[in-house]
Structure 1
């Protein structure tokens, strides 16, 4: 393991901040079960000039899902639930309602992997509401039973399609509440947060978090502008408030087989199970774990999860085999993934691992003889309310084609940036494996694999970006 060079770590974060401006940023690095480095930049609140420090509380968005998954796995460890049993066996506050009579009941594992077919938005009107209907004014957030009055709908056969959903993890949080008979927030404090020493974290606006809560901002034409303050209604999917220090303690426990210096929350074998892919449509892409996303950085196995909320971004990135991890939290976001935390976390992890920045390979020959097989249209699949955000950006399908002598993938929307597309760079000896460079929006270099059926025809395009796959559409003749 390379020695810790704090100047190089600070320089790496500075380079990210030069590209991705943010009001404030907190970064923490963990190695060997200990917080070994932290960095604070900017302000938690512009009006007061309060600087970001180790006590600054950020909203961490979907990083919450990993803690919800830990709570679910605690019930599984104790034999209280079965991951492959229908969610309906345990959920009492509301129902999961099939959109068609032939749909099988989704299981707990389906919810943990975003493959239950649950919608990203409850109904079409949510598309017109702030933050897609996931937020409410402080003190006015409905309970899940009220929010899902009439049931939470799922639209496709469970296990057949990955579609990211906050609602699925809200159902898991409610499942914990229904099984244990205590509010989800109370359970999480007693069984996850407090045992790990995370005393400045909560999923509700309690005294643990209010005093040091950062203000969220977005960048507009005249600079930083505070965002509307909304509570997260989908609590199990994104309501956590936390500090970089607390999340570093959490990271230490995840790297330590479920325990840190304060206590234990899971057995090592349970965490190992969570980090494995449970939905992997193609072996050449990382797939989806139980609440976590597997990946690689410089050939080192990683797991993690990022988080987005209006005015905030977060990233938790771990290299479990190397015992190192990074947390990065920021308070500037326009409710999209572009911002400092994800590239900052990867830059610091690369320094800790002693690996260089990801690069597109330039030593692999192009294979235009195979491009004819790959060119065509690829659908986002059934269920427009399952994944409305990529559809709003790309359209209902993407297209692979040759443009100016290069193989590219592009969206169908008549927007110049979307229609220009992304170049598919060959990666190794496999003619159906490529990489795309997404550094302009934060995720970095991502694998793209084309799968073929028994007859040799291309059937789908799979990406290493979360669990997104695109089935091939019939050619238009």
Structure 2
């Protein structure tokens, strides 16, 4: 597989597993080591921590409960919780809003944990893991009105995991095994570090100037958001079920369909899955991140193709792994990366309306806001330019806004390749603009945004 081989030559890593799933068959490509000390190679049966790919499994479990009439997507989520309460800022969030990161929950629950590993959502391995009721002090407080903005939050999916437990009377790990993993033949997958996964578990590494170093082993408190361990072979079975359908996964198309769009010109998100469009081919995807591990899952449902990728130690994989997987999928679909259009003229007649200062929508407890507080739109050298207010130099220098629609002057595309993200659409509406990547929304302000941009903390990265 030459495309995969080229990928290996571009990045420093300890181990990498890539699985391409087509017609129910797995094409596996492994590189490097699952453990450097024992020189154990990466195989299709190597167990990785898959991080937030867990969220897609939560969505399947909730869909199963909907089929059983135990849960309704548009009912208040608090109706199903017994262990702790959701404390609304205004209205009560629904189950659907939890599944789309629009429930109004923050990513940082405890401000004192801002600089702790994974924002305080982990404990050292072997220590007692607090219950969610203990972790939230009996109540999880919303910070924005449900349905008004997209804020990526582990706590929404931890809450969904609690809803599964409270609705079924089963621990979440047991529910996953009985209703998803075992029926799909995923014999080396689990939510806890059981005998199903320990003997094949890869070691996670951080790549430093002195070489790879094993990361500290930690357990996740918000386990429903990112706790799953799995293999490439097992995740291929999972992807096959997503592509071909299965009694285990009721109506996968409903999970892939748009459930929240900040603007109808952007793909938005489904139930847990992020939506993309590759040259007219619908694509859904999700990233996973745990200390020492990165993962990516992408599926083109109409084309019957899926790809999973896992690393256990790679420099900057959070920035490049998704872009590389997307490039592989485009290779198999025969679809090029969307180019910055040069055939469309600039439209100065709309510049006055679009120029100005914009603030990133949401609460200061949204971790994304730490890195992009807002943006300025202005004209530079005869071209409309977007300058994010960010500590990331490649973005802070400004991004040219390239017209991207023959008829709509409010649609642009920016080049994010300097940070490993390819290109992304940016669409302007009434006093706001929205970015395809994530998605993110920015509201126009009357005054400039002032204040110090915080430096990135090495310890505050979320599991994602």
User: TM-score, length-normalised on structure 2?
Assistant: 0.92
**Within the alignment, does 1:34 sit opposite 2:38 as a pair?**
no
Gaps of 5+ in 2: 450-464
**Within the alignment, does 1:272 sit opposite 2:253 as a pair?**
yes
1:423-467 deviations in Å (ceiling 9; x for gaps): 222212121111122234343221111112xxxxxx211111122
**Within the alignment, does 1:425 sit opposite 2:367 as a pair?**
no
SS in 1 for 2:419: coil
User: Root-mean-square deviation (CA), in Å?
Assistant: 1.9
1:339-376 deviations in Å (ceiling 9; x for gaps): 43x13322221222122334322322222332222121
Please, which moves more after superposition, 408-417 or 118-127? 408-417
Please, which moves more after superposition, 439-448 or 126-135? 439-448
User: TM-score, length-normalised on structure 1?
Assistant: 0.89
Please report how far the alpha carbon of residue 80 of structure 1 lies from its aligned counterpart in structure 2 after TM superposition.
1.1
Contact 2:357/2:448 (8 A) holds in 1 = no
Gaps of 5+ in 1: 1-9, 453-458
1:14 to 5, 20, 27: 5
1:2-151 map, 5 Å: 10-35=1-26, 37-98=27-88, 100=89, 103-140=90-127, 141-151=129-139
Assess, with a 3 A threshold, how the Cα gap between structure 1 residues 47 and 412 changes in structure 2: closer, same or farther: same
Contact 1:311/1:335 (8 A) holds in 2 = no
Q: How many residues align?
A: 447
**Within the alignment, does 1:408 sit opposite 2:398 as a pair?**
no
In the alignment, which residue of structure 1 is the partner of 2:455? none
- Mapped to 1, the partners of 2:315 and 2:223 lie a distance apart of 20
In the alignment, which residue of structure 1 is the partner of 2:442? 470
- Mapped to 2, the partners of 1:208 and 1:412 lie a distance apart of 46
Please report how far the alpha carbon of residue 382 of structure 1 lies from its aligned counterpart in structure 2 after TM superposition.
3.8
1:222 to 200, 203, 210: 210
1:329-344 map, 5 Å: 329-332=310-313, 337-340=318-321, 342-344=322-324
- Mapped to 1, the partners of 2:37 and 2:165 lie a distance apart of 39
In the alignment, which residue of structure 2 is the partner of 1:455? none
- Mapped to 1, the partners of 2:209 and 2:315 lie a distance apart of 13
In the alignment, which residue of structure 1 is the partner of 2:461? none
Assess, with a 3 A threshold, how the Cα gap between structure 1 residues 336 and 24 changes in structure 2: closer, same or farther: closer
SS in 1 for 2:155: helix
Contact 1:118/1:155 (8 A) holds in 2 = yes
Contact 1:13/1:344 (8 A) holds in 2 = no
Contact 1:22/1:339 (8 A) holds in 2 = no
- Mapped to 2, the partners of 1:410 and 1:333 lie a distance apart of 29
- Mapped to 1, the partners of 2:209 and 2:433 lie a distance apart of 38
Contact 1:277/1:288 (8 A) holds in 2 = yes
Please, which moves more after superposition, 108-117 or 128-137? 128-137
1:8-27 deviations in Å (ceiling 9; x for gaps): xx222233333332211111
In the alignment, which residue of structure 2 is the partner of 1:5? none
SS in 2 for 1:218: strand
- Mapped to 1, the partners of 2:98 and 2:122 lie a distance apart of 21
- Mapped to 2, the partners of 1:324 and 1:137 lie a distance apart of 38
- Mapped to 1, the partners of 2:354 and 2:405 lie a distance apart of 17
SS in 1 for 2:75: coil
